[in-house]
Amino acid sequence: MKDYDAIVIGAGNAGLSAAATLQRGGMRTLLLERHNIPGGCATSFVRGDYEFEVALHQLSGLGTEDQPAILRHVFDSMGISDKVDYVEEHHLYRYAVPGVIDITLPASVKGIIAVLSEAFPAEADKLKPFLDLCEVLTLEAYLAYPRAKATGDPEVIKKNCRNFVKYGLRNAKDVLDEFFDDPVLKAVLGGYWGYMGLPLKELPFSDLGVMLYAYAAMKPWHVVGGSQALSNALLDSFLEAGGDVRFNCGAEQITTDNGAVAAVRTEHGEIFTTNQVVSNASSILTYNQLLDRPELAGDVREDFKSRRMGVSGFVLYLGLDCTPKDLGIEVATNFVANTIDDEAQHAEALTLDGAPKGCLFTCYTVGDETLAPKGKSVVALMCLQYGSAWDNVKPEDYAATKFAYAEKLIDLAETVIPSVRDHIEEIEVATPMTMMRYLNTPGGAIYGFSQGIAEHGTVRDRVRPVHGLHLAGSWSGMGGFQPTYQAGASVGGSILCKQNKKAG
């Protein structure tokens, strides 16, 4: 008998979800995490009186209690529904470019149409058709297309997924251009590009459209206690079901026998036998480093060559000694930029020489005051940045470089939200190197590989060269919270399914 029915490497969102699903499904599962806490990106840390959310800005896919959406069902199936509390956000975002626009989109399709019709009357009649398209695209991408594809008949795809066929792989800029003229309106509607890390012309429209519609219809959510609360709840559910977990215990090798998974060796030298491994570590690390015979990875390594490294982030975690109201903000999610040009903003992510042109100011205490001591606020101020921007920064210059860039980021935020600096009580600066340290990802990437059209799941073929080795997480699908929870649950589910077939 094997030591475990399954071993999960990494306790990020996908690893936790896979582990909880497997153990609750009756497979004896070992979860290995190199860090001392579950969550990966989905974590928090405490400084002084403040607890800082590391990564979650807005949780998507939950839906309301009355109208639950997919993620609520997934969480139900993993047994965490009564372990977590959520706070609904009533706005998608504020989009502010001084001298150009300052507008807030409410969290409803109707509300968005009303607000934008008033601000852009000349284009009012195109808003509904546009948002309708986002809606049907969501349904087609997630429901109709997978079914149609399974039939193997191209005509069925054409017939049942008309919008997906036409718009699914087009770039977001193109589609916005097709509908609208006003560049400011297009920039406002494209505001979420930053959540995917690529400018509109490189993003598949289906991803942007789905995101916009999903947040509007299913609402953006905060989690009480932050995403760490979700991570802790998933782990709790896993432990309650009898799972074994080891922290401070990285996996060092996946041992194979005849091209199939046989065991996992930890950094402490222990060896655990198993036939099933789910790796939540990056695919790069899994196939190039962990696998005992990297040559087994064959096709995967070919696939790597057509991939590009994804983006990381530069984040200031701020504890402010004032309320959101004192700062003049009413909305948690604030995109602040000095240009509506997303390509110019993205270009700054590649270098430390200039200054950020766009950023995201998320104030978690809007809507949930319990996150900070009374009268105070917790903020994450973030801009996109690639790990490569830090390649030539020497260790001895690291601190000075990060502080200097932090100053520029605060300067940008202050063009819309004045006197942030004066209110700082606690501050922690995280760079792509910080992400790299805590996630063990190449380039400190936070969504896995770049999320461009050529990386889209629709155009990629699934390669799984090693029997019993499964990947789950941002490196083998879409990055972000909702996708990675779902990926873990689905990988766990399909392993269970096969196992049960064998047994039955």
Partner 1 sequence: MTLKDIRSVIDGFDATRAQMENLAETGQDFANEGARVQTRVASLHPKRLALTVSDLVEETATTRTLRLTGDAGTLPPFLAGQYVNLFVTVDGVETARPFAISSAPQERGHYDLTVRKIAGGFVSPWLVEGLQVGAKVSSSGPMGSFYVNPIHHGDDLVFLAGGSGVAPAISMIRDIAARRLPVKFHLIYGSRQTDDVIFQRELSELDAACDFLTLTQVISEPNDAFQGRTGFIDAALISEVCGEMANKTVYLCGPPAMNAACAKELKDVGVTNKRLHIEANGPPVDPTARGGWPSGVAAHQNVTVTVNGKGSFETTAGEPLLNALEKAGYQVENACRSGECSLCRIKILSGDVFNPSEAKLRQSDRRFGWVHSCVAYATSDVEILL
Helix axes 205-218, 109-119, angle to 10 degrees: 110
154 binds, among partner 1, ligand FAD, none (CB under 5 to 8 A by kind): partner 1
Between residues 31 and 331, which has the closer beta carbon with respect to partner 1? 31
Binding partner 1 by CB under 8 A: which of 143, 271, 347, 399? 399
Nearer to ligand FAD, 148 or 413 (CB): 413
Q: Cβ closer to partner 1: 148 or 360?
A: 148
The entry of ligand FAD, partner 1, none near residue 179 (CB within 5 to 8 angstroms by kind) is none
For partner 1, which residue of 149, 201, 265, 467 counts as binding (CB under 8 A)? 149
Q: Which does 45 bind (CB under 5 to 8 A by kind): ligand FAD, partner 1, none?
A: partner 1
Separation between Cα atoms, residue 60 and residue 459, nearest integer Å: 24
> Residue 398: CA atoms inside 13 Å, Cβ hemisphere, count?
11
What's the Cα-to-Cα distance from 175 to each of 186, 216, 276, 495, rounded to whole Å? 10, 19, 43, 39
Rounded Cα distance between 62 and 135, Å, is: 16
Residue closer to ligand FAD, measured from CB, 12 or 161: 12
Which of residues 403, 497, 498, 500 is near partner 1 by CB under 8 A?
Answer: 403
* Partner touching 305 among ligand FAD, partner 1, none, CB below 5 to 8 Å by kind: partner 1
Selection from partner 1, ligand FAD, none that 280 binds (CB < 5 to 8 A by kind) is ligand FAD
Shortest Å distance, C-beta 415 to ligand FAD: 22
Tokens of 182: 């006003």
Query: How far is Cα 235 from Cα 242, in angstroms, rounded to an integer?
Result: 11
Answer with the entry of partner 1, ligand FAD, none that 225 interacts with (C-beta below 5 to 8 A by kind): partner 1
Q: Given the complex with partner 1, which of 110 and 308 has the nearer CB atom?
A: 308
Binding partner of 12, given ligand FAD, partner 1, none, CB within 5-8 angstroms per partner class? ligand FAD
Angle at which helices 172-179 and 124-139 cross, to 10°: 140
Q: Is 75 helix (H, G, I), strand (E, B) or coil?
A: helix
**Residue of 464, 475, 450, 473 whose CA lies nearest to 498:** 464
Cα–Cα separations (whole angstroms), residue 115 to 107, 110, 187, 437: 11, 9, 15, 42
> How many residues sit close enough to partner 1 to count as binding (CB under 8 A)?
75
Q: How far is the CB of 225 from partner 1 (least distance, A)?
A: 4
Site for partner 1 in 117-146 (CB under 8 A): none
Query: In 3-state terms, what secondary structure has residue 427?
Result: strand
CB of 160 to ligand FAD, least distance (A): 28
Min separation Cβ 282 and ligand FAD, Å: 7
Residue 317's SS3 state is strand
Nearest residue (CB) to ligand FAD, 19 versus 103 = 19
> Per CB under 8 A, which of residues 295..334 are in contact with partner 1?
301-302, 304-308, 321
355 part of the interface to partner 1, by CB under 8 A = no
27 binds, among ligand FAD, partner 1, none (CB under 5 to 8 A by kind): none
Q: 425 contacts which partner out of ligand FAD, partner 1, none, CB within 5 to 8 A by kind?
A: partner 1
- Judged by beta carbon, residue 215 or residue 405, the one nearer partner 1 is 405
Angle between helices 205-218 and 124-139 (to 10 degrees): 100
Question: What radius of gyration do the chain's Cα atoms show?
Answer: 22
CA separation for the pair 303, 131 (Å, rounded): 35
Least distance in angstroms from the C-beta of 503 to ligand FAD: 28
Please report how close the Cβ of residue 1 comes to partner 1 at its closest, in angstroms.
Answer: 19
What pairs with residue 363 in β-bridges? 379
Binding residues for ligand FAD, rule: CB under 6 A, are 9-15, 32-35, 40-42, 54-57, 195, 250-251, 280-281, 285, 313, 315, 435, 439-441, 446-447, 473-474, 479-481, 484
Please name every residue paired with 264 in a beta bridge, in sequence order, or none if there are none. Answer: 254, 272
CA 306 to the chain's CA centroid: 22
Looking at residues 257 to 296 of the shown chain, list those that interact with partner 1 (rule: CB under 8 A). Answer: 284-285, 288-289, 294
Interactions with partner 1, residue window 39-68 (CB under 8 A)? 44-49, 51
Q: Which of 98, 154, 259, 328 binds partner 1 (CB under 8 A)?
A: 154
Residue 142 gets which letter from DSSP? I
Grouping H, G, I as helix, E, B as strand and the rest as coil, residue 492 is: helix
Q: Residue 129 binds which one of ligand FAD, partner 1, none, with CB within 5 to 8 A depending on kind? A: none
Alpha carbon distance 172, 209 (integer Å): 8
Q: What, of ligand FAD, partner 1, none, does residue 180 touch, CB below 5 to 8 Å by kind?
A: none
Contacts of residue 178, defined as CB under 8 A and 6 or more positions apart, other chains included, come to none
DSSP character at residue 95:
E
Cβ(58)–Cβ(333) below 8 Å: yes
Interatomic CA distance for residues 241 and 29, integer angstroms: 10
The CA distance from 337 to 248, in Å, is 40
148 vs 249 by CB, closer to ligand FAD: 249
Query: How far apart are CB 43 and ligand FAD at their closest, in Å?
Result: 8
Site for partner 1 in 412-471 (CB under 8 A): 421, 424-425, 427-429, 433, 436-437, 440-443, 453-454, 456, 458-459
C-beta separation of 320 from 329 below 8 A = no
Are the C-beta atoms of residues 199 and 193 closer than 8 Å to each other? yes
Query: What is the identity of the amino acid at 420?
Result: V
CB of 183 to ligand FAD, least distance (A): 25
What CA–CA distance (Å, rounded) separates 325 from 347? Answer: 33
